[in-house]
Amino acid sequence: MHNLWRVIMPRASLMLLLVWISLSAMCVCCECIGRARPCEYLISDAVFVGRVVETSPVKHAVEKNSYSAGYSMRFAVDESLRGELGTEVMIETGSGGGDCGTPLRPGGRFLIFAYKEKDGTLWTGMCSGSRQLTGDSAEEEILTRYRSLVKKSSGSVFGTVMTSKPVWRQDDIREGSPEPWPGLTLHANTGSFSTTTRTMKDGSYEFDELPNGKYTVAPDIAGNFDFDHEYPDRYEADVSNGQCKNVSFALMPRTRVRGHVIAPSGVDFKTIEVVALPTSLRNLNQFSGKWDFADENGHFDLWPLPPGDYYVGVNINSSPSKESPFPPTYYPGVANPKAASIVHLEEGEVKELELPLPEIAKPRVIHFVAIGLDGKPLRKIYIQLEDLRHPGDAASYVNVDLDSKGVGTMTVYSGYSYHLHGSHWVSYLNDWCSKPVVVRAGTEPVEARFVMDRKSGNCEIAEIDGLRK
């Protein structure tokens, strides 16, 4: 199915009439992270008060030969609070709406928070914290607060520490009811300075008046708990001159399965996805269970996990693919789930596994021709692969360029039955759809035809296969 969005640009004058931005900016389509304190917005590279001199539509380069619509705004700077700015400055923004852009009307006076790209250009958007200034007393109080903050030679870090237990909700893990962890010690460290504090009754904490610097924050937790380490910068705070950052922790029992994948030589470990599935789960799809990609050395870590009984393996809830070309393999390296070893976990328990992947799935070529709804050969086709072990689930897909006769090829894997769903995008909400091509399990090459037989806003597999009544 095509996930295609068309941005319909209204007249510029109407767009500019819709400008409103506050310190707790939220908007439809553009989802902003809420910020509770003014000092959080000072993380910006440039903060100033200025008037919009000119707002011009532009094309912003995304990559080579690719552009996105947006605006370039020229400001006359009345007062610079952060950053080295001249009397005028150019600020870039998106087109508005889903891209978080915020084109501003010329003549308006604004408090602007902007961030700097690698090429040195400054950008702002709906989530930056910028706001229009109309001259009332409340706005003057806000400006006074920011003027005071930027004169400080210190920053602060604050947050909460909550604890919960993971629970299964259908085929996915969700966080259970969180509770605060009072009295927990936290450390804030730089290379030359360190300090500690404790959480309050509600789990909140604060390091105030920290000397300017880049801090790593860590809770002093017992060995039976852990937090998500996938993105270490979540727990770092580079604060100076009135800046602050929210660094919060969600602690859960360390219950996990981790280990090492053993694969044939030449395999890229980082494309191998290892999954843990509760033995009670039925009607699996590619999103079922708790999964993790192996690192470059083949190590994986499945956390958090509720206590229980699990199958652990590769492609046990999905199909072989180019990135992960392995038959379904269950721990300890078997293809049949009846021969698999069930991994039992008690709360707080860590199981270490070696998971061998003994073979590569054998590819199988599909030769096909694709005909459009107009009876002419197609030059492009989008094909979703529905592995019939998991009806209605088609995470794997290919886009195939065809020759002038509509001829092309694709690869599936031997030993599996598929429905191949072909479609062709014509325009927004106008797809051409074909009936599924049935591929029975086998090893020999397959000859097939995709014939577009109807239009649809989206060629949904559940409707085609009669799974949705």
Q: What are the tens digits of pLDDT across the range 63-77?
A: 777 888 999 999 999
For residue 5, being part of any structural domain is answered with no
pLDDT (tens digit per residue) in 351-397 = 999 999 998 999 999 999 999 999 999 999 999 999 888 888 777 88
Structural domain containing residue 275 = 256-356
Q: Do 338 and 232 fall into the same domain?
A: no
Output the CA–CA distances (angstroms, integers) from residue 347 to 165, 288, 424, in the order listed.
Answer: 10, 21, 49
Provide the pLDDT for residue 10.
32
Q: Do 137 and 33 fall into the same domain?
A: yes
Q: Tell which of 227, 253, 279 closes a domain.
A: 253
For residue 169, being part of any structural domain is answered with yes
Domain total of the chain? 4
Collapsing DSSP states into helix, strand and coil, what is residue 241?
coil
274: part of which helix (H) or strand (E)? strand 273-278
Q: Do 36 and 131 fall into the same domain?
A: yes
Q: Do 55 and 31 fall into the same domain?
A: yes
For residue 6, being part of any structural domain is answered with no
Q: Do 309 and 401 fall into the same domain?
A: no
For residue 469, being part of any structural domain is answered with no
Q: Do 279 and 339 fall into the same domain?
A: yes
Q: Do 449 and 433 fall into the same domain?
A: yes
Q: Average pLDDT over the chain, rounded to whole?
A: 89
Provide the pLDDT for residue 188.
98
For residue 4, being part of any structural domain is answered with no
Q: Do 111 and 241 fall into the same domain?
A: no
CATH code where residue 114 lies: 2.40.50.120
Q: Do 16 and 143 fall into the same domain?
A: yes
β-pair partners for 162: 180, 250
Look up the pTM and report it.
0.78
Mean pLDDT in residue range 34-58: 93
337, 280 contact by CB (below 8 A): no
Provide the pLDDT for residue 29.
58
Phi/psi for 114 (5° steps) reads: -135, 150
Q: What is the DSSP letter of 377?
A: B
β-pair partners for 143: none
Q: What confidence tier does 25 reach under pLDDT thresholds 50, 70, 90?
A: very low
Mean pLDDT in residue range 143-170: 95
Query: Which position has the higher pLDDT, 400 or 10?
Result: 400
* Residue 420 region by backbone torsions, left for phi larger than 0, else alpha for psi between -120 and 50, else beta: beta
For residue 234, being part of any structural domain is answered with yes
Q: Do 158 and 266 fall into the same domain?
A: no
CATH code where residue 215 lies: 2.60.40.10
Q: Tell which of 150, 177, 198 closes a domain.
A: 150
For residue 329, being part of any structural domain is answered with yes
From the CB of residue 148, how many other CB atoms can be counted at a distance below 10 Å? 10
- Closest by CA position to 98, among listed 31, 33, 30: 30
Q: What confidence tier does 265 reach under pLDDT thresholds 50, 70, 90?
A: confident
Collapsing DSSP states into helix, strand and coil, what is residue 462?
helix
For residue 445, being part of any structural domain is answered with yes
Q: Do 295 and 266 fall into the same domain?
A: yes
249-253 and 154-163 strand pairing: parallel
Q: Tell which of 356, 389, 416 closes a domain.
A: 356
Q: Do 379 and 312 fall into the same domain?
A: no
